[in-house]
Amino acid sequence: MFKEFKQFIMRGNVIDLAVGVIIGAAFGRVVASLVEDIIMPPIGVALGGVNFSDLFITLSGGEYQSLAQAKEAGAATINYGLFITTVIQFLIVAFAVFILVQQVNRLFRRAEAKGEAAPQPTQEVKLLSEIRDLLAARRP
């Protein structure tokens, strides 16, 4: 069983996936810091000194000066300021992924224009394409 596990781990796709997950996690932390520490403070100042991390609605009654105070008191809250920050983080990550995919597609087009052979799809990609085509053919 250990031998099979070793063969599984040593496959290129598993290693590539692991590297992608690690890089993605690190990139996510960088984007989170960019949004929370660089982008949101000037936006808050431009909107009259708003601290987005303290924008919330208390559902359990009572008034609290900050989200930390509300959480400490055990109050139920809707944290829409944190949600806005998370949406901005998502948009930045989505845009970065879009740019990455766009550049990879551009490289493939250049390779094809030069007459170089484009990378052949893996067996998994071929099977997924066949499944997609079969499902598309079944739709009315």
Res 140: pLDDT? 57
Rounded Cα–Cα distance for residues 4 and 9 (Å)? 9
- Between 91 and 4, the higher pLDDT residue: 91
Rounded Cα–Cα distance for residues 31 and 38 (Å)? 10
Mean pLDDT of 100-122: 78
Mean pLDDT of 103-120: 76
Calculate the average pLDDT of the chain: 84
Q: Which domains does the chain have, with CATH numbers?
A: 2-138 (1.10.1200.120)
Verdict on whether the full-model pTM lies above 0.75: no
Q: Supply φ then ψ for residue 77, to 5 degrees.
A: -135, 155
9-59: per-residue pLDDT in tens? 676 677 778 888 898 888 888 988 988 899 888 988 998 888 888 899 999
Res. 107 pLDDT band, cuts 50 70 90: confident
Query: Are residues 96 and 121 in contact, defined by beta-carbon separation less than 8 angstroms?
Result: no
Res 76: pLDDT? 93
Res 77: pLDDT? 94
SS3 state at 53: helix
Residue 106 in tokens? 């551009």
- Given the structure tokens 């930390």, which residue do they identify? 68
